[in-house]
């Protein structure tokens, strides 16, 4: 446990340059500056490691980095997505708080590989403490000469800037993040073109999640194979899981991919005394909800969770015990997406409000017999038809809640009150 | 052109790699529904209406933003595509008010049309609908934003075409609103195009509000005559009246857009000031008479007053049609007079601009450099300015030499605010710099010109560009050194291999040139005629207080007791009534057939969209009958097209000036007098809604503090009847007058 991103967690001032370097930090970066690494080597190691994007989409990081036109004669950018806004997720916050240098080193390495001399870390607007920690780490890195121009007299330059968001969930979508970073209204761009070709300020850009960047230095220090071996097939390495909800000790846990859900639940102290597990959202509110049975049989890796009927997402495990009213929970989630939709494209702008209003009406005791079919119909019409994934994210919980807990909805509609809470 | 093959709905189609799918389906006539896509605007992909099934793609793809690649297989009609289109349609309609019965867009609404194909007949949406408060965005565009479907075409039009982002999307999610950022509303000179691009009834024409349904009207192709472009339009008519004007596509002229002036000036047609009945003045009193009586009176008056042929003069405004110019000069020349002119606003005909344009409108987008001299191009020639803006967006540098700083809607590389009396000297410096760097001999007349740093920069820009253009605007016509300026520009253009675009005389003045509506050998020009006390005039749609540079002298000369004046006018005017002996009511814009000649020499003919009101007749017919009554030969025309073809078979050469170039700086305050943009001609002056816009209210004599002090006037005073505005954006020793003497009243 806690082998990569959290390895300094239990030490004194885990966020300091001193602690980071005492644990082998910046060794890879210093080797790069001495010319001991080539970009191709780094991409190969990353491919071997099986590291997949930790923001939610799970796209192989090595492959992503190889798409950048590194030799194109123009400014290129590396952007870190620290706009961690998915309900249930709080892992990047703790990486920034306790191990900010790993993000800096990961981004610098990314800059070297992609031949990008500028980087931005876009941090969620509400993250004041992580923001100051990261800024502090940046200062230390600059003071040590690890960032800047022609570092240690090499031809390598890398400048890194922090940008604080303004609190919109949509800006966690990478192209909306780029728009926001450019000073525009945070609205996703249609793709293609992808950021690797037309990204920040129209230039080639690689965007990765905080945890992905933070994992890179150790992978290169210890080898891709070492990382791959920690996890299971198709899910290399370890992963941070934010376990929240009805557990006794909610926390972030960095565990090997493939750890059983049962063990993870155990680490978080199990469900509350006197209650039984009812449902689990394994990857953040945008991923489908699972029943207790399905969850208990699941292993925490990309394929394991998919087999159980959901997605690993950002590793945000929301635990619900038998006191949870699923109608109420879904209504709250639907409100979140309704509130956070940017309004740019039709299905999401109109559909999220429709979903929420129907659910709200059911909650108000005015449900109608065909509302479940209506909700299924509406979510299905949003799914896959939008510019970005927010539409899908709004649709998936509706579909899975209704599929797995249909009886509760039928009860609410028929009786005008909750089956669980009365 | 084809270099790849794709398959759409089972048919093999040739296309270019990287083209957007919707461009291919549009070309092939395959119907794909859309709202946000517009061929002239950037891709937004936000409405999602054009989703189609692309084999191999897990999700449906928007045709507007999917670049095609070889072997792609697309289904626009299969279950997956149709399900997506239906889904989007349902979402678009849930919050749409469906108030088609009271919506002006009804019958020409893209949402209605697409909903017929892809919508359901019953809505499953039973929640409350969204209501959006409207904002008053000005006199031209009516908003009903509850109907808005957030396609952002108007937003993109503003940002990309008009060049000012006046509309924007504020708020987010369901609460996103399309609204102007500023309380003062929409001010662009191209704003009416937002009405055309809006696919629903959110933005409609305010003057046209609640008038008619689109299917009740006839649409007649026509040409607008307010500027040098001759934008193609549809005049939409109902029961013999023009009710609305919309743009007609013509890629080589106006693309898809028209200016607000071209769109809304039709309101003037139904103004109460129209001249409707022929009148004759008998013993100082006006009598309304039949046409034959009026024409007989006119002919007898001419016979009585014109004892010598050269005692007759003909003058015309610049809005006449090619055929009208031609017939009037033919009458004059038929009677033996060469006293013919249309250059009423020119102070000194022998000392003015004579430059031929040698660039096409479409070519203007391709220039890599432009030097604009003496023009507020954006408001004078909106569609020409739009072409130049496109050039600027694709990287062209644009330099300006003006007497006042204007609000251009593109980046100006070097803006030089220079007093009119310095213009010739500045151009001489540029020419000298050009000649020097080419190691060519410098002629004597450039001797005094000092090659300044600015002149060198401006010269180098012209020399270093592969495809540069020099654009000459209205402000220079009455410059004391206009002819020298003209000749210097000609020299510079030749030496730097630049093209010339002369926009100094607007409206249909190119047609006057083509019809040879200028004095011939022994003839008098406009100012000479007025000074010569002629015995008789035929005046074509002239309003002397607006049209003549020497308006006081003109009114005086025309008012002589022994001068017989035949006035053909489309509008009533007190001064015209005062000096005329016969008033013949003529058709205005869109009420006559004829031709417009645009700046590139393109002759565009049009038919009458409606009949002229009451007894008014097309001027070409009036002139033809007048010629018959005067028993002049060669006027056997059955329609105006016969006149047109006769003109096209003749070719006239413009009189070429060849004077010395004078670059000495003349001391004193120079006045540049220009009609404000919505007061350029009699029709636009009577267009009520245009006058209520910010551009319509431009009426000021601008000068800087130093000039004001010299003239001993202050802010709040009037200068030549126009309110004084003190501004440091005006060059020293210069008064820039933009006068709008619009006639207000009931339409």
From the list A278, A322, A316, A328, the residue with the least C-alpha distance to A393 is A316
Whether B45 and chain A come into contact, CB under 8 Å, resolves to yes
Q: Do B173 and A374 count as a contact with CB atoms less than 8 A apart?
A: no
Average pLDDT estimate for A159-175:
96
Of B45, B90, B91, the CB nearest to A387: B45
Of A192, A341, A385, the CB nearest to B172: A341
Chain B partners within 8 Å of A385 (Cβ):
48, 51, 59-60, 84, 87-88
Q: Assign residue B433 the CATH number of its domain.
A: 3.40.228.10
Whether A357 and chain B come into contact, CB under 8 Å, resolves to yes
Question: Is the pLDDT at B95 greater than 80, yes or no?
Answer: yes
Q: Do A347 and B94 count as a contact with CB atoms less than 8 A apart?
A: no
Measure the CA–CA gap between B525 and B527, rounded to whole angstroms.
6
Chain B partners within 8 Å of A354 (Cβ):
91, 94, 125, 127
Q: Do B87 and A381 count as a contact with CB atoms less than 8 A apart?
A: yes
In-domain check, residue B107: no
Residue B469 binned pLDDT confidence (cut-offs 50, 70, 90): very high
How far is the CA of B714 from the CAs of A346, B124, B703, B721, B727, in angstroms? 56, 67, 10, 14, 11
Average pLDDT estimate for A30-54:
96
The two tokens of residue B519 are: 């004095």
Same domain, B407 and B492: yes
Same domain, B368 and B446: yes
Residue-wise pLDDT tens digits, B423-466: 999 999 999 999 999 999 999 899 889 999 999 999 999 999 99
Measure the CA–CA gap between B7 and B344, rounded to whole angstroms.
62
Residue-wise pLDDT tens digits, A121-148: 999 999 999 999 999 999 999 999 999 9
Of B48, B84, B127, the CB nearest to A345: B48
Same domain, B529 and B555: yes
The residues in B 117-176 lying below 8 A from A, measured between CB atoms, are 124-125, 127-128, 149-150, 169, 171-176
Whether B33 and chain A come into contact, CB under 8 Å, resolves to no
Q: Do A385 and B51 count as a contact with CB atoms less than 8 A apart?
A: yes
Q: Do B48 and A344 count as a contact with CB atoms less than 8 A apart?
A: no
Same domain, B628 and B691: no
Going B258 to B260 to B262 to B263, the CA torsion angle's sign is: positive
Whether B43 and chain A come into contact, CB under 8 Å, resolves to yes
User: What 3 state SS string does B343-382 have?
Assistant: CCCCCCHHHCCCCCCCCCHHHHCCCCEEEEECCCHHHHCH
Which ranges of B355-503 does DSSP label H, i.e. alpha helix? 361-364, 377-380, 382-393, 420-437, 453-464, 482-496
- DSSP code, position B744: P
> Tokens 């006035």 — which residue?
B567
Q: Do A350 and B92 count as a contact with CB atoms less than 8 A apart?
A: yes
Predicted ipTM? 0.94
Task: Please tell me the predicted confidence (pLDDT) of residue B746.
Answer: 36
How far is the CA of B300 from the CAs of A259, B292, B305, B307, B626, in angstroms? 111, 12, 8, 12, 11
Residue-wise pLDDT tens digits, A195-239: 999 999 999 999 999 999 999 999 999 999 999 999 999 999 999
In-domain check, residue B82: yes
Average pLDDT estimate for B381-399:
97
From the list B24, B21, B90, the residue with the least C-alpha distance to B54 is B21
3-state secondary structure of B274: strand
Residue-wise pLDDT tens digits, B28-66: 999 999 999 999 999 999 999 999 999 999 999 999 999
The residues in B 173-202 lying below 8 A from A, measured between CB atoms, are 173-176
From the list A370, A338, A373, A385, the residue with the least C-alpha distance to A357 is A338
Same domain, B480 and B442: yes
Q: Which one of B67, B93, B119 terminates a domain? A: B93
- Structural domains in chain B (count): 4
Same domain, B371 and B450: yes
Q: Assign residue B80 the CATH number of its domain.
A: 3.10.20.740
Is the distance from CB of B647 to CB of B326 less than 8 angstroms? yes
* Å between B324 CA and nearest CA of chain A: 53
Measure the CA–CA gap between A58 and B545, rounded to whole angstroms.
76
Residue-wise pLDDT tens digits, A232-275: 999 999 999 999 999 999 999 999 999 999 999 999 999 999 99
The two tokens of residue B516 are: 């040879």
The two tokens of residue A237 are: 């390495």
Residue-wise pLDDT tens digits, A89-109: 999 999 999 999 999 999 999
Residue B497 binned pLDDT confidence (cut-offs 50, 70, 90): very high
Question: Is the pLDDT at B747 greater than 50, yes or no?
Answer: no
Q: Do B175 and A343 count as a contact with CB atoms less than 8 A apart?
A: yes
* Å between B193 CA and nearest CA of chain A: 22
Q: Do A345 and B47 count as a contact with CB atoms less than 8 A apart?
A: yes
The residues in A 239-258 lying below 8 A from B, measured between CB atoms, are none
The count of CB pairs under 8 A between chains A and B is 97
Residue-wise pLDDT tens digits, B646-684: 988 876 655 444 557 888 888 888 999 999 999 999 999
Same domain, B398 and B485: yes
Whether B68 and chain A come into contact, CB under 8 Å, resolves to no
Task: Please tell me the predicted confidence (pLDDT) of residue B185.
Answer: 87
Whether A262 and chain B come into contact, CB under 8 Å, resolves to no
The two tokens of residue A178 are: 């780029």
* Å between B387 CA and nearest CA of chain A: 25
Is the distance from CB of B344 to CB of B549 less than 8 angstroms? yes
Helix then strand then coil, % of chain A, to nearest 5: 45, 15, 40
* Å between A301 CA and nearest CA of chain B: 23
Whether B58 and chain A come into contact, CB under 8 Å, resolves to yes
Same domain, B609 and B639: yes
Residues in chain B: 747
Residue B537: Cβ-neighbour burial (10 angstroms; 0-12, 13-18, 19+): buried
Task: Please tell me the predicted confidence (pLDDT) of residue B122.
Answer: 87
Task: Please tell me the predicted confidence (pLDDT) of residue A117.
Answer: 97
Is the distance from CB of B360 to CB of B386 less than 8 angstroms? no
Residue-wise pLDDT tens digits, A49-72: 999 999 988 999 999 999 999 999
Question: Is the pLDDT at B413 greater than 90, yes or no?
Answer: yes
Please state, for a pLDDT cut of 90, what percent of chain A lies above it: 98
Chain mean pLDDT for chain A: 96
Count of CB atoms within 10 A of residue B290's CB?
11
Chain mean pLDDT for chain B: 94
Residue-wise pLDDT tens digits, B573-608: 999 999 999 999 999 999 999 999 999 999 999 999
Task: Please tell me the predicted confidence (pLDDT) of residue B658.
Answer: 52
Same domain, B331 and B413: no
In-domain check, residue B270: no
Of B62, B94, B173, the CB nearest to A341: B173
Q: Which one of B65, B93, B121 terminates a domain? A: B93
Task: Please tell me the predicted confidence (pLDDT) of residue B653.
Answer: 53
Is the distance from CB of B38 to CB of B160 less than 8 angstroms? no
Q: Do A384 and B60 count as a contact with CB atoms less than 8 A apart?
A: yes
Is the distance from CB of B329 to CB of B643 less than 8 angstroms? no
Q: Do B94 and A350 count as a contact with CB atoms less than 8 A apart?
A: yes
Task: Please tell me the predicted confidence (pLDDT) of residue B181.
Answer: 85
Average pLDDT estimate for B201-218:
96
Task: Please tell me the predicted confidence (pLDDT) of residue B351.
Answer: 87
Q: Which one of B502, B533, B549 terminates a domain? A: B502
In-domain check, residue B485: yes
Question: Is the pLDDT at B742 greater than 80, yes or no?
Answer: no
Helix then strand then coil, % of chain B, to nearest 5: 35, 20, 45
Report DSSP letters for A265-291, one per residue.
Answer: HHHTT-BPTT--EEEEE-SSTTSPPEE
From the list B361, B264, B239, the residue with the least C-alpha distance to B610 is B239
Strand-pair partners of A255: A239
Task: Please tell me the predicted confidence (pLDDT) of residue A422.
Answer: 85
Q: Assign residue B620 the CATH number of its domain.
A: 3.40.50.740
Domain that holds residue B77: 3-93
From the list A28, A195, A164, the residue with the least C-alpha distance to A107 is A28
* Å between A192 CA and nearest CA of chain B: 7
From the list B600, B189, B252, B161, the residue with the least C-alpha distance to B380 is B189
Residue-wise pLDDT tens digits, A322-367: 999 999 999 999 999 999 999 999 999 999 999 999 999 999 999 9
From the list B193, B166, B197, B198, the residue with the least C-alpha distance to B179 is B166
Task: Please tell me the predicted confidence (pLDDT) of residue B652.
Answer: 60
Residue B121 binned pLDDT confidence (cut-offs 50, 70, 90): confident
In-domain check, residue B293: yes
Residue-wise pLDDT tens digits, B525-563: 999 999 998 999 999 999 999 999 999 999 999 999 999
Largest Cα–Cα distance of chain A, in whole Å? 74
Strand-pair partners of B280: B287, B582
Whether A384 and chain B come into contact, CB under 8 Å, resolves to yes
In-domain check, residue B334: yes
Same domain, B531 and B493: no
Chain B partners within 8 Å of A351 (Cβ):
91
Q: Could you tell me which residue, B181 or A154, shows the higher pLDDT? A: A154
Best of A167, A202, A346, A361 to disrupt the B interface (most B CBs within 10 Å) is: A346
Per the omega criterion (within 30 degrees of 0), is the bond before B550 cis?
Answer: no
In-domain check, residue B611: yes
Chain B partners within 8 Å of A353 (Cβ):
95, 173-174
E-only strand ranges, A68-227 = 77-82, 118-123, 159-164, 205-209
In-domain check, residue B131: no
Task: Please tell me the predicted confidence (pLDDT) of residue B745.
Answer: 42
Task: Please tell me the predicted confidence (pLDDT) of residue B649.
Answer: 82
Whether A184 and chain B come into contact, CB under 8 Å, resolves to no
Same domain, B288 and B373: no
End-to-end CA distance of chain B: 52
Cβ-proximal residues to A304 (8 Å cutoff; 6+ apart), any chain? A232, A235, A258, A298
From the list B373, B408, B413, B367, the residue with the least C-alpha distance to B391 is B367
Same domain, B48 and B79: yes
* Å between B70 CA and nearest CA of chain A: 16
Annotate B84-118 with b (16+ C-beta within 10 A) or e (fewer).
Answer: bbbbbbbbbbbbbbeebeebbbeeebbbbebbeeb
Measure the CA–CA gap between B36 and B702, rounded to whole angstroms.
42
């Amino acid at each position: 446990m806690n082998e990569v991103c959290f390895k300094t967690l239990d030490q004194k001032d885990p966020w300091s340059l001193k602690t980071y370097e005492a644990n082998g930090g910046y060794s890879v970066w210093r080797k790069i500056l001495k010319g001991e690494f080539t970009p191709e080597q780094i991409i190969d190691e990353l491919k071997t490691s099986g590291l997949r994007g930790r923001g939610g989409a799970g796209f192989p990081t090595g492959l992503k980095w190889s798409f950048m036109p590194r030799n194109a004669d123009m400014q290129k950018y590396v952007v870190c997505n620290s706009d961690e806004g998915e309900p249930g997720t709080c892992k990047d916050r703790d990486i920034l708080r306790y191990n900010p240098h790993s993000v800096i080193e990961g981004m610098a390495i990314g800059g070297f590989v992609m031949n990008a001399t500028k980087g931005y870390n876009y941090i969620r607007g509400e993250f004041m403490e992580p923001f100051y920690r990261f800024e502090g780490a940046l200062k230390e890195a600059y003071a040590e000469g690890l960032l800047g121009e022609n570092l240690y007299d090499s031809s390598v330059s890398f400048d890194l800037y922090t940008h604080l968001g303004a609190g919109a969930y949509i800006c966690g979508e990478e192209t909306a993040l780029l728009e926001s970073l450019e000073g525009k209204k945070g609205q996703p761009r249609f793709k293609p073109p992808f950021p690797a070709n037309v990204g920040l300020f129209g230039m080639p850009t690689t965007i990765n999640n905080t945890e992905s960047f933070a994992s890179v230095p150790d992978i290169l220090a210890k080898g891709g194979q070492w990382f791959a071996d920690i996890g299971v097939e198709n899910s290399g390495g370890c992963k941070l899981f934010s376990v929240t909800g009805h557990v006794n000790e909610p926390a972030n846990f960095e565990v090997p991919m493939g750890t059983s859900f049962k063990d993870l639940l155990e680490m978080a102290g199990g469900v509350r005394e006197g209650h039984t597990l009812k449902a689990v959202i394994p990857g953040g509110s945008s991923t489908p909800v699972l029943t207790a049975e399905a969850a208990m049989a699941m292993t925490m890796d990309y394929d394991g969770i998919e087999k159980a009927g959901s997605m690993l997402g950002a590793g945000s495990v929301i635990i619900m015990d038998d006191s949870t009213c699923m109608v109420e929970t879904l209504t709250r989630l639907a409100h979140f997406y309704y509130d956070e939709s940017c309004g740019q494209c039709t299905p999401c702008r109109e559909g999220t409000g429709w979903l929420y209003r129907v659910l709200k009406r059911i909650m108000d005791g005015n449900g109608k017999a065909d509302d479940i079919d209506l909700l299924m119909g509406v979510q299905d019409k949003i799914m896959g038809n939008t510019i970005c994934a927010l539409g899908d994210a709004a649709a998936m919980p509706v579909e899975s809640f209704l599929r797995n807990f249909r009886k509760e909805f039928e009860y609410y509609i028929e009786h005008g009150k909750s089956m669980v809470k009365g | 052109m084809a270099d790849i093959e794709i398959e759409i709905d089972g048919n093999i189609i040739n296309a270019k790699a990287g083209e957007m799918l919707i461009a291919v389906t549009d070309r092939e006539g395959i119907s794909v529904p859309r709202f946000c896509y517009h061929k002239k605007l950037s891709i937004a992909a936000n409405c999602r209406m054009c989703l189609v099934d692309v084999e191999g793609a897990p999700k449906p793809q928007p045709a507007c933003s999917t670049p095609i690649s070889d072997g792609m297989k697309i289904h626009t009609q299969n279950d997956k595509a149709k399900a997506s289109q239906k889904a989007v349609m349902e979402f678009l309609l849930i919050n749409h008010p469906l108030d088609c019965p009271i919506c002006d867009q009804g019958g020409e609404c893209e949402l209605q049309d697409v909903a017929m194909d892809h919508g359901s007949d019953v809505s499953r949406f039973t929640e409350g609908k969204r209501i959006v408060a409207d904002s008053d965005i000005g006199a031209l565009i009516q908003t009903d934003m509850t109907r808005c479907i957030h396609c952002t075409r108007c937003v993109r039009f503003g940002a990309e075409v008009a060049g000012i982002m006046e509309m924007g999307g504020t708020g987010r999610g369901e609460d996103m609103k399309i609204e102007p950022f500023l309380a003062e509303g929409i001010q662009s000179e191209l704003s009416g195009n937002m009405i055309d691009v809006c696919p629903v009834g959110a933005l409609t024409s305010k003057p046209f509000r609640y008038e008619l349904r689109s299917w009740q009207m006839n649409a007649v192709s026509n040409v607008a005559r307010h500027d040098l472009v001759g934008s193609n339009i549809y005049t939409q008519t109902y029961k013999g009246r023009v009710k609305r004007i919309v743009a007609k596509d013509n890629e080589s002229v106006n693309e898809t857009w028209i200016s607000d002036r071209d769109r809304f000036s039709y309101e003037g047609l139904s103004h109460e000031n129209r001249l409707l009945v022929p009148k004759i003045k008998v013993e100082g009193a006006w009598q309304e008479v039949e046409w034959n009586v009026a024409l007989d009176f006119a002919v007898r008056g001419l016979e009585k007053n014109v004892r010598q042929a050269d005692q007759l003069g003909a003058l015309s405004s610049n809005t006449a049609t090619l055929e009208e110019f031609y017939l009037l000069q033919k009458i004059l020349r038929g009677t033996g007079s060469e006293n013919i002119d249309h250059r009423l606003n020119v102070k000194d005909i022998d000392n003015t601009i004579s430059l031929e344009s040698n660039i096409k409108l479409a070519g203007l987008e391709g220039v890599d450099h432009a030097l604009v001299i003496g023009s507020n191009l954006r408001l004078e020639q909106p569609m020409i300015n739009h072409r130049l803006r496109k050039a600027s967006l694709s990287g062209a540098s644009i330099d300006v030499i003006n007497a006042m700083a204007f609000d251009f809607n593109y980046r100006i590389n070097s803006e030089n605010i220079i007093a009119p009396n310095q213009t010739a000297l500045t151009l001489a410096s540029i020419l000298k710099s050009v000649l020097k760097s080419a190691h060519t001999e410098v002629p004597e007349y450039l001797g005094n010109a000092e090659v300044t740093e600015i002149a060198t920069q401006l010269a180098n820009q012209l020399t270093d560009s592969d495809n540069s253009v020099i654009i000459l605007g209205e402000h220079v016509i009455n410059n004391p050194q206009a002819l020298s300026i003209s000749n210097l520009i000609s020299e510079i253009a030749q030496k730097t291999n630049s093209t010339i675009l002369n926009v100094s005389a607007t409206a249909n003045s190119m047609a006057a040139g083509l019809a040879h509506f200028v004095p011939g050998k022994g003839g008098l020009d406009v100012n000479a005629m007025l000074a010569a006390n002629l015995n008789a005039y035929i005046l074509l749609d002239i309003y002397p207080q607006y049209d003549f540079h020497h308006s006081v002298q003109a009114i005086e000369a025309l008012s002589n007791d022994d001068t017989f004046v035949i006035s053909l006018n489309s509008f009533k005017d007190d001064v015209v009534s005062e000096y005329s002996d016969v008033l013949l009511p003529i058709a205005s814009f869109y009420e006559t057939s004829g031709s417009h000649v645009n700046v590139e020499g393109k002759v565009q003919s049009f038919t009458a969209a409606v009949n002229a009101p009451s007894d008014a007749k097309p001027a070409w017919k009036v002139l033809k009958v007048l010629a018959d009554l005067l028993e002049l030969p060669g006027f056997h025309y059955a329609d105006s097209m016969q006149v047109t073809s006769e003109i096209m078979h003749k070719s006239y050469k413009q009189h070429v000036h060849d004077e010395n170039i004078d670059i000495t700086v003349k001391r004193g305050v120079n006045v540049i007098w220009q009609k404000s943009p919505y007061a350029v001609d009699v029709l636009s002056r009577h267009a009520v809604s245009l006058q209520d816009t910010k551009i319509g209210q431009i009426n000021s004599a601008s000068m800087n503090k130093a000039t004001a002090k010299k003239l001993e006037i202050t802010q709040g005073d009037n200068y030549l009847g126009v309110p004084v505005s003190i501004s440091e954006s005006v060059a020293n020793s210069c008064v820039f007058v933009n006068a709008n003497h619009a006639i207000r009243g009931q339409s």
